[in-house]
Structure 1
Amino acid sequence: MAHLRDSFLEQLPEQCRVESVRAAWRELWAKALTFLSSSQMHRLGKAFVFAARAHADQKRVAGDPYVIHTLSTASILADMQLDLATLTAALLHDVLEDTPTSPEELSAAFGEDVLTLVGGVTKLGKLPFMSVEGYQAENLRKMFIVMARDIRVVLIKLADRLHNMRTLGALRRDKQERIAKETLEIFAPLAHRLGIYQIKRDLEDLSFRYLQPEVYSEIRRKTKKKLPQMEEIIRKGIETLESRLAKEGIPCKIKGRAKHYYSIYEKMQRKKLSMDELYDILAIRVLVEDVSTCYAVLGIVHSLWVPIPGQFDDYIATPKSNMYQSLHTTVMAFGAPMEVQIRTQEMNRLAEYGIAAHWLYKSKGGSADSLDARLMWVRQALEGGPGEGHDPEEFLELLKSDVLTSEVYV
């Protein structure tokens, strides 16, 4: 397959024959190869060459060939094992907006499905909007309308935004702040609403870094200072729990996990605590076979260490609105509070990839009903919001206050 992979590199225009493009293509190829067939890989290669030729004369602000961005966007989605149409659309997501490529050309080369996805991600043309907010709101409403029909549009948009945030350093300060603010207000909550915690965490930390650089640096510095002491507690916790579960004959996977910087900041704000008063910067995550084992492990954890009152949540019996499921408990272990999360492998995949995990299950014969149930809120947002011809800024406010907020005021 390496010969096929490199054959596409030979078809690139001169401007794209640089090592950074080669490396990004090889990375995407290696990820996609784990779940796509050889004929699908061939179609992915065609999309890569098409994108490279369409964007041949364009460069990113940092000076890289533009196609690096579309390769990186597709690579983020390949981590979630999304289907060929989504990866193809990710490679081509800017061709309608930024190149002379026509919708007819795109449809002829890659089909109607890919055209719909690329069209859904494409921003509106230069329409006479009164304000930046109006333009932003109208773009979001357009995305929501397509998203209600095909959720893959928003997955491409989130991956696109994540790569843009990772390369935000090349932009002017005012642009950095504007994009980071929009990311924190719209795209991170959207990832949260869709249960894609892996992207949500990265978007929040990157936005935080640009919006409050001093606070971000301070939390990062103090976290690194506390880590050795916390890592020792987590190491002992994992060893103790592993040996006890092995005695009980319970197969499991256990790992330590650090809280991301923005969630530490949020907790400090919410609980009015200083960084020195926060202990649960690290958590233990236990992955087991089935739901009944989750509760058995919870009993064992509480027999090993003293649970802290009021610090237990059962999201298995009552899942969060984005279908997140897990047991969370905080115990006193080795003289400090230690958070333990217990869930099944399937719950863990849904927690990391949320709605995107559906494509993996669909390929294994999963049902579409659960996906529909999870997307009800998208349709409700469109029905509850102002319709065509109404104030787009009203829709944006509704989106921020009703749809993307984690608290409901009664």
Structure 2
Amino acid sequence: MNNRLLLAKSFARARHEGQRYGEFPYYVHLDDVERLAQPFGIDAMIVAQLHDVLEDTTTSVDELVHDFGESIALSVSYVTDPLQGDRKTKKKQLHQRLIQLDETEGSARLALIVKACDRLANVKACRLFHRGKYAMYQSEHADFRKATYRYGLCEMIWWELDMLIEVGDKIGRY
């Protein structure tokens, strides 16, 4: 395993210590997002491990810059929800940030890929274990897609996510 990825895994596990993702330790979610990000390279996998560390822990951007470099820190900051407001307000602000990203810039590209991977991991987990959250993701999907999707960036992630959102209930019956 790449040393930088191993550092990111260790860092994220230490920072998310004691946090849960439903019934599981939080790192289960981080590992799911990392697996989805794997086809996009080591930096995407690193951002996947770190994607929630700014919003869910006391970690600072400066710490990420110090340990992982400016590009990784910037990517993580792009995908981080604002700290103030209710879910609807936070998501609106986040979407405004994401829609402005230029996917030809490296940090922005990583952020958009990891954000799609994160949403896919969340939708998969909620579809199985938390139907209320699954319905919430379905209701948010159009706005999320408008802000985050870029043609040709991670089409298979989007194909699976769209399928789960649009026909998820029917898929589960067969």
- For normalisation by structure 1, the TM-score amounts to 0.38
Cross-structure match for 2:77: 119
> Which of 117, 122, 142 is matched with 2:97 structurally?
142
Residues 83 and 198 of structure 1, relative CA distance in 2, 3 Å threshold:
closer
How far apart are 1:209 and its partner, in Å? 4.3
> Which of 105, 130, 138 is matched with 1:171 structurally?
130
Distance 2:21 2:167 in 1: 21
Structure with the bigger percentage of strand? 1
Contact 1:188–1:203 (CA under 8 A) maintained in structure 2: no
Distance 1:96 1:42 in 2: 22
Structure 1 segment 229-240 matched on structure 2, within 5 A: none
1:43 equivalent to 2:4? Answer yes
Contact 2:43–2:110 (CA under 8 A) maintained in structure 1: no
Partner AA of 2:111 in structure 1: V
Moved more, 89-98 or 135-144: 135-144
Cross-structure match for 1:87: 45
Distance 1:197 1:85 in 2: 18
Query: Quick one: higher RCO (CA 8 Å, sep 6+), 1 or 2?
Result: 2
Identity %: 24
How far apart are 1:184 and its partner, in Å? 5.0
Contact 1:93–1:118 (CA under 8 A) maintained in structure 2: yes
Alignment deviations for residues 289-337 of structure 1 (CA, whole Å, 9 cap, x no partner) = xxxxxxxxxxxxxxxxxxxxxxxxxxxxxxxxxxxxxxxxxxxxxxxxx
Distance 2:109 2:153 in 1: 13
Partner AA of 1:45 in structure 2: L
> Which of 19, 22, 33 is matched with 1:58 structurally?
19
Alignment deviations for residues 116-148 of structure 1 (CA, whole Å, 9 cap, x no partner) = 000001011114x7x82x432221111233445
How far apart are 1:188 and its partner, in Å? 8.4
Distance 1:117 1:172 in 2: 30
Cross-structure match for 2:28: 68
Partner AA of 2:60 in structure 1: S
Distance 2:171 2:118 in 1: 26
Alignment deviations for residues 257-315 of structure 1 (CA, whole Å, 9 cap, x no partner) = xxxxxxxxxxxxxxxxxxxxxxxxxxxxxxxxxxxxxxxxxxxxxxxxxxxxxxxxxxx
Alignment deviations for residues 60-103 of structure 1 (CA, whole Å, 9 cap, x no partner) = 11x1110111111111111x2x2332221111110000011111
Cross-structure match for 2:115: 157
Contact 1:191–1:199 (CA under 8 A) maintained in structure 2: no
Partner AA of 1:77 in structure 2: A
Distance 2:154 2:44 in 1: 16
Distance 2:163 2:147 in 1: 13
Distance 2:75 2:109 in 1: 9
1:207 equivalent to 2:165? Answer yes
Structure 1 segment 3-402 matched on structure 2, within 5 A: 29=1, 41-61=2-22, 63-78=23-38, 80=39, 82-127=40-85, 132=88, 134-148=89-103, 149=105, 150-168=108-126, 169-173=128-132, 175-184=133-142, 186-187=144-145, 191=149, 193-194=151-152, 196-209=154-167, 213=169, 216=170, 221=174
Q: List runs of 5+ in structure 2 lacking aligned partners.
A: none
Contact 2:78–2:111 (CA under 8 A) maintained in structure 1: yes
Alignment deviations for residues 206-256 of structure 1 (CA, whole Å, 9 cap, x no partner) = 11345xx3xx269x65xxxxxxxxxxxxxxxxxxxxxxxxxxxxxxxxxxx
Contact 1:71–1:91 (CA under 8 A) maintained in structure 2: yes
Distance 1:136 1:119 in 2: 14
Residues 135 and 94 of structure 1, relative CA distance in 2, 3 Å threshold:
closer
**Structure label with greater radius of gyration:** 1
Query: Where in structure 1 do 4 or more consecutive aligned residues deviate above 4 Å?
Result: 188-192
Structure with the bigger percentage of helix? 2
- For normalisation by structure 2, the TM-score amounts to 0.84
Contact 2:48–2:114 (CA under 8 A) maintained in structure 1: yes
